[in-house]
A = this chain, B = another copy of it.
Amino acid sequence: MAGDASPAVAALSEAELLSRIFPRLAVDATHSAATLLGPGDDAAIISAPDARTVISIDTQVQDQDFRLAWPNGYRSTGFDVGWKAAAQNLSDINAMGARATSMVVSLTLPPDTPVTWVEDLADGLTAGIRGLGADGCSVAGGDLGRGREISVTVAVLGTLDGGPPVLRSGAQPGDVLALAGTAGQAAAGLALLESGVPMEQLDDGLRNLTERQRRPVPPLQAGPAARKAGATAMLDVSDGLLRDGRRMALASHVAMDLDPDRLGPLAAGVEPAARLLGRNAMEWVLSGGEDHGLLATFPPDIQLPPGFTAIGSIQALGIDEGPRVTIAGRAADTGGWDHFAD
């Protein structure tokens, strides 16, 4: 990042850098309701009104989970990375039917990282929390360290407000399978960023798709709504419909069948990108990750809560049959993203 006009983090002490970050994480009283003790001591203290805390952790690493410089010329801002870190983690809490109360953030930074990039990251975290509607959540603390690559780890806490969690293991034969949020848009955006087509040549719709990759929009109202409506199972679609669907089928020991007619509108949303790049829109819908929609199952007699659309059904396994995901009854490739396997 040589040539950037901002001083590098190596020019500041840890205390000086923290003094640049903290004010940007400040949120109004609405957003910090759960924080009993915020940054500045050995640990933070967060309210857990029903005597339980929901907790998840997730790391984004430079050149793995985001690129500083993309093949199409776009450069990831700290704001993008902060927003995505917030969104990914808030989504995990959402997928339990819970709402987030707090985040703690651990940042690893190469010494030459521009201070403005780190300030943008703090802004992006705050904007993600607010923009996604995570009322009551704020950044309560963190850790700063040095490394060869930028790494952002967020641990997020949440509350179920006295309700039961929605696990991925509760899907029942006869249940309706439903999706909240988008599918395939983040993957289409990734393909655009990795293409040779410069950002300036993309129309608004295609640019929006790159934004879904850089700044995902998990439907944070849908998780608690699904819990209250009686969802039997739920998970966050981070690795693709087929792959995450298979996880639910395995955990619930059921067969899951997707209705291709119901997936059509999702494919239509990424069709212009597929046409431009010579790719298959339905493949993005089925195997693309990082939209952070919610896949949930509901008893058939329940009205789906706002935001959810039926996309399939849950069936019992026959004798000697293993848990599986099918499309209109036919075998589907599992696809999706694995960090280590090819």
Contacts and interface: CB of A to CB of B under 8 A. Distances in A.
B339 A144 contact: yes
Given A57-B143, A143-B57, A104 B155 contact: yes
A52 interface: yes
Interface in A148-190: 148-149, 151, 153, 155-158, 160, 165, 167-169
A63 B149 CA distance: 12
Interface string A54-84: 1111110111110000000000000000000
A131 interface: no
A193 interface: no
A322 interface: no
A136 to B, nearest CB: 14
Contact of A55 (B10, B46, B92, B167): B46
B155 A43 contact: no
A53 interface: yes
A106 B13 contact: no
A52 B36 contact: yes
A47 B104 CA distance: 19
A134 interface: no
Interface residues of A, number: 73
A152 to B, nearest CB: 10
Interface string A1-42: 000000001101110010000000000000000001100111
Contacts of A156: 43
A61 B17 CA distance: 19
A255 to B, nearest CB: 20
A289 to B, nearest CB: 13
Interface stretch (A93-101, A120-128, A270-278): A93-101
A233 to B, nearest CB: 10
A43 B61 contact: no
Nearest to A104: B57
A318 interface: no
- Total identical chains: 2
B338 A13 contact: yes
Contacts of A10: 340
A140 B51 CA distance: 17
A52 B140 CA distance: 13
A169 B42 CA distance: 11
B142 A42 contact: no
A236 to B, nearest CB: 5
A9 B141 contact: no
Contact of A51 (B37, B48, B56, B236): B48
Contact of A43 (B41, B44, B56, B105): B56
A57 B155 contact: yes
B14 A338 contact: yes
A277 B196 CA distance: 57
Nearest to A238: B42
Contact of A58 (B47, B61, B98, B106): B106
User: Considering the complex of A and B, which 4 residue pairs feature the smallest CB-CB distances, nearest first?
Assistant: A155-B155, A48-B48, A43-B56, A42-B95
